Every structure is written in C-alpha cells, then in structure tokens.
Amino acid sequence: METTLRIHTERTPNPDSVKWVVGTPLLDEPRPLSFGTGTTSDISPLAARILAIDGVTDVLLAPEVITVSKAKETSWRELGQTITQAIREWAAAGEPALGPAHQRPAPADDGEIEARIRAILEADIAPYVEQDGGEISLVGFRDGVVEVALKGACVGCPSSTITLKMGVEARLREEIPEVHTVVAL
C-alpha cells in the first residue's frame, strides 16, 4: 500500500479542518465515517493513530480522503507533518482503516417523509458536503423540523449555517412541502 499512497492536503471551508487526500481506497463504504476521541485501534487503526496526536479532535474517513479537525488553539503548522507521518506509518503497517470492532450504522427505519428527506440528502446534498471534508446525515423529522448531524469539516465551520439555510433547507422545502426548517444538532 505504501507505494500507491500519494498524500496531499486540501483546505476546507472550516479553518480548523483539513483534508488529506491519499489516492487509494480507505473504505469499502461510500459514506464517510466519523471518529472522535476515545476511538481505539480495534474500531479504526487509522483514526486511532491520528486521534492520538495532541490537538486532533475529530477524524472523518471517506473512501479516499481523511478529514482531520483540530482544537482551535492548535496550529496546523504544528500538526500537519505529524498527521502525514501517522498516515504513512499506518499504511506501512498494512493495517485496515476499520478494525474488527467497527460496527456499521444500522439502516434507518424511515417513514415516507423521512425516506424522501434522506434520499435528497444522500443524492443531492451529501456529495457537495463531502467534497468540503464534511458529512451530513438525517437524525429525525418532527413537526416540520428536519434535524441533521454535521460531522467532519462541517463542525464549527463558519459557513455551515449558510449552507444549512440557503442550501439544505431551501432544497428540501422545494421538494417536500412538509419541511419548514432544518437544524443541526
């Protein structure tokens, strides 16, 4: 794997998150997976290595991208090389990105409106959010309010509120009249 690993970084709209593009498949799953502090190597050897670095707060694994979020008081200058080295060490060790204790999320048991919301989120919105190093997923729908979870670069991003209101909410309201507003939990 080490010979095919071509790492470069890309900025995200969130100054506290950076994408490491590795150029080789990390996951068999099309959707990103988020990992926070407390993630062990039996859940994700790759995420655990990166999260062990002081100042790293969150790791989002996508098929060929690793989005790393840092604490506000930490500098990317301090972290960048250390994160790249941790990724290279993981690849050299030949470890999988996901460990044996990783559990795939259970499929959602949606009603008709939730299924329509989820379909729009997954087909129309998630690909754009993922390009920016983030993830959006449906948490629930109640009384006209769509509740979503934002992960990766979306957490704490200065433009996430605009994205939610002008992008996500506008798109859902256009297709589903029962939707009145979208909130991030």
Domains in the chain: ranges and CATH: 2-93 (3.30.1370.70), 112-184 (3.30.300.130)
Question: What is the Cα–Cα distance from 145 to 147, expressed in whole angstroms?
Answer: 6
Task: Calculate what percentage of the chain has a pLDDT beyond 70.
Answer: 96
pLDDT at site 42: 96
Least trusted range by pLDDT, from 34-48, 85-99, 110-124: 110-124
Nearest to 134 by CA among 146, 121, 116, 147: 121
Contacts of 24 (CB under 8 A, 6+ apart): 1, 4, 5, 6, 64
Instruction: Say if pTM beats, i.e. exceeds, 0.85.
Output: no
Query: Regarding predicted confidence, which is higher, 36 or 31?
Result: 36
Least trusted range by pLDDT, from 24-28, 53-57, 87-91: 24-28
Buried b (16+ CB within 10 A) or exposed e, 32-51: bbbbeeebebebbbbbbbbb
pLDDT at site 2: 43
